[in-house]
Amino acid sequence: MRYLNKPVLYNLEKKKLEELGELWADILSIHTKFANLVQDDKRERAVEKMRYHETKEHGHEQVKREEGFKGEERTFQEQASDTDNNLNQGSSLIETIFKVLYHCSFSPQTFGNVFVSYMEEEQLWDSLYNIPVSTCTKSELEVIRCLRLALTDAVKDIVQQIIFVMSSGRSCETNLNKHSVPECLRESIPKEWNYIPKKTKRKESSKGFTRLAAQAVSIVISKLPTVIACLPPPIKYFFFLSERKMSKNFVELKKASLLVWNLIVIICQIFEDGNTVELLTGASLDRWSKEKLGLICVCLESIMGKQTSGPNQMTQKVIQSIEQEKPNWIESQLLKARNLSTKW
């Protein structure tokens, strides 16, 4: 009996996956055309229903028309329900194809080619540039939802670590302010006691937050290469192909890859959405935490090259403190993350 060696088996499996990918690409194309036909049909029936109501108001034979059109209205509602069911089935089909190809590490090109073709056909590049992290609406496309869930799961540990750091900083600031003396009593304190005024403590608190924010930003930047290295090869290859379609239109991608950019965007969106933070970490954010996390987001966006409304003094202090401690470290980490995003 003749046995096949491992390279031959690998090539056979890879060829089968590529053929399967071509088949699923055809299925996605058919599904897209079907969904468009369904939407056109739904619009036509909506127009018919509107005409029915106009006829009902202005017609001469109102009773007969009502009896006839009631049956048509029920039929319309049933067909609309069938349309929604068909769309839901189409969405579940896309999700199934996504999940299967997402884990096909032997042939990352299959996932990339299938979904890049789908993105091109549906013109979804703008949605890919800023993947929303909040709970999806009915109008959100299934492919974008699947990508959002995959990337959110990848950065979950980073989010948990940042929230823990912020909680520790919050406790320190609370303890610092807890022992402060009211202003009305400060004048009665003898100078020999060398009491530190409250304003000075506030400055120390500000310096403390600068260190805290620098620590949080450093955690995100330091973890990016590891997060990307642990992603399945198909998702990295997909973003690599997508970046070639988009990099001409977005200046921010020159500093980091599309995959790195989306990971940072999702982390920032999670920090800005208290519900998502609570869902991922179990921690509920107070006003102080939201403000500080918002500043960390501005720091991350500034590092990625995103243009803000104006220079933020605190943001500059945070980034400068990181650069002073570790010169050129941020750029080297982003470069490392970018290089890893092209290895599959």
- Ramachandran bin of 105, using left for φ above 0, alpha for ψ from -120 to 50, beta for the remaining angles: alpha
* pLDDT digit string (tens) for the chain, length 344 residues: 344 444 544 454 555 556 666 666 666 665 565 555 545 655 665 666 666 666 555 554 554 444 454 454 444 344 444 444 444 444 577 788 888 888 888 788 888 888 888 888 888 887 887 777 665 544 457 888 889 999 999 999 999 999 998 888 766 555 555 555 666 666 777 777 776 665 544 444 556 778 899 999 999 999 999 999 999 999 999 999 888 877 665 656 667 788 999 999 999 999 988 788 888 888 888 888 888 899 999 999 889 887 666 667 888 899 999 999 999 999 999 999 999 998 87
Rounded Cα distance between 276 and 257, Å, is: 25
pLDDT of residue 4: 44
3-state secondary structure 223-284: HHHHHHHHCCHHHHHHHHHHHHHHCCCCHHHHCCCHHHHHHHHHHHHHHHCHHHHHHHHCCC
pLDDT of residue 124: 82
Structure tokens at 235: 């998702």
Q: Where are the alpha helices (DSSP H) in 103-155?
A: 108-122, 125-129, 142-154
Rounded Cα distance between 330 and 299, Å, is: 12
pLDDT of residue 55: 59
- Give the residue among 314, 308, 253 at the shortest CA–CA distance from 129: 253
pLDDT of residue 33: 57
pLDDT of residue 116: 87
pLDDT of residue 31: 56
pLDDT of residue 91: 54
pLDDT of residue 222: 96
| Per-residue burial over 86-125, b = 16 or more CB atoms within 10 Å of its CB, e = otherwise | ebeebbeebeebbeebbebeebbbbbbbbbbebbeebebe
